[in-house]
């Protein structure tokens, strides 16, 4: 299958995965069957790893919070950061784990939960991993933009007008 076509499909569905194969085919000027085959191959090759819905929880009655945790760790000889990452991502509370450059080694995002549950998870499960040197927990107070999607109404510009 044509890699150029696959990349075009990926760019389109990354922005809107609700498009049907027929709609993507029309956008690209190809047959629907070509898109169907390409998407199946991309899924089989684990290039497409899932389909997610982005929800603005601030507009619901949900009072749970999201947390981002920075981890500093001691990498292990032979397995480096991979074994530590595996320990961390195995927890069901963990939504995302990234190996980072800079002042900390891992960025861990937790699933939404009450603040107390997040604090207990960090204290009793994450920080007690032998290789973990330190943790810094950040609670998400407000999302303005996530995955390229604005979470604020564009007409809500509250800046003061200045005139010369």
Is the pLDDT at 155 greater than 70, yes or no?
no
Which run of H or E residues covers position 107? Answer: strand 106-113
Q: Is 118 helix (H, G, I), strand (E, B) or coil?
A: helix
If one compares 16 and 100, the residue with the highest pLDDT of the two is 100
Is the pLDDT at 100 greater than 70, yes or no?
yes
Q: What's the pLDDT band for 67 if we cut at 50, 70, 90?
A: very high
pLDDT (average), residues 64-74: 95
Length of the chain counted residue by residue: 164
Is the pLDDT at 154 greater than 80, yes or no?
no
pLDDT (average), residues 55-81: 89
For residues 70 and 42, what is the distance between their CA atoms, to the nearest angstrom? 32
CB 106 within 8 A of CB 71: yes
Q: 73-95, pLDDT tens digit by residue?
A: 999 888 889 999 999 999 999 99
pLDDT at 5: 92
List the one residue out of 61, 9, 53, 68 whose CA is nearest residue 149.
53
Angle between the N-to-C axes of helices 21-28 and 32-44, in degrees from 0 to 180, rounded to the nearest 10: 110
- DSSP annotation of 22 reads H
Across all residues in the chain, what is the average pLDDT? 90
Give the chain's end-to-end CA distance (angstroms, integer).
59
């Amino acid at each position: 299958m044509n890699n150029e076509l696959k990349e075009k499909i990926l760019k389109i569905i990354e922005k809107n995965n609700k498009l049907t194969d027929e709609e993507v085919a029309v956008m690209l000027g190809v047959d629907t069957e070509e898109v169907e085959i390409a998407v199946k191959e991309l899924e089989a090759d684990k290039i497409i790893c899932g389909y997610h819905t982005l929800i603005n929880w601030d507009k619901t009655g949900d009072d749970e919070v999201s947390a981002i945790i920075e981890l500093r760790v001691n990498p292990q000889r032979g397995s480096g950061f991979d074994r530590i990452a595996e320990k961390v991502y195995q927890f069901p509370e963990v939504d995302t784990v990234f190996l980072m450059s800079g002042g900390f080694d891992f960025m861990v995002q937790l699933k939404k939960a009450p603040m107390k549950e997040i604090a207990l998870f960090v204290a009793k499960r994450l920080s007690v991993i032998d290789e973990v040197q330190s943790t810094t927990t950040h609670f998400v107070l407000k999302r303005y933009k996530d995955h390229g999607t604005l979470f604020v109404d564009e007409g809500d510009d509250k800046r003061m007008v200045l005139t010369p």
